[in-house]
Amino acid sequence: MSTILQAAPEAAQAPSGGRLNRLGAYTPSPAEIEHAARFRDYTVEYRPIRGRSITHHEDGFSRIGQISVDHDARLFKLYPYPHATTVDVRQMERTVAAIRSGYWGALPWQTSETGTQWATVAVRTSARRESEWPEVRVCKVESCQHFREWHRVDDEGSVRHFAVGADEPEGSPWQVGLQRTDDGPWQVSIDYAPDRPLTELEVAGLLSRIRWVAEDARRLNSPAVQEVPC
Binding site for Zn ion (CB under 5 A): 139, 141, 144, 146, 161
Please spell the DSSP secondary structure of 150-210, one letter per residue. Answer: EEE--TTS--EEEE--SPPPTT-SEEEEEEEESSSPPEEEEEE--SSPPPHHHHHHHHHHH
Residues whose CB is less than 8 angstroms from the CB of residue 45 and which lie 6 or more positions away in sequence, other chains included = 75, 76, 77, 78, 148
- Report CA 129 to chain centroid distance, whole Å: 20
128 versus 161: smaller Cβ distance to Zn ion: 161
- Report CA 148 to chain centroid distance, whole Å: 6
Minimum distance from CB of 68 to Zn ion (Å)?
A: 22
Q: 187 with 178: CB under 8 angstroms?
A: yes
Q: How far is CA 175 from CA 102, 136, 141, 163, 224, in A?
A: 42, 25, 21, 12, 27
Residue type, 113: E
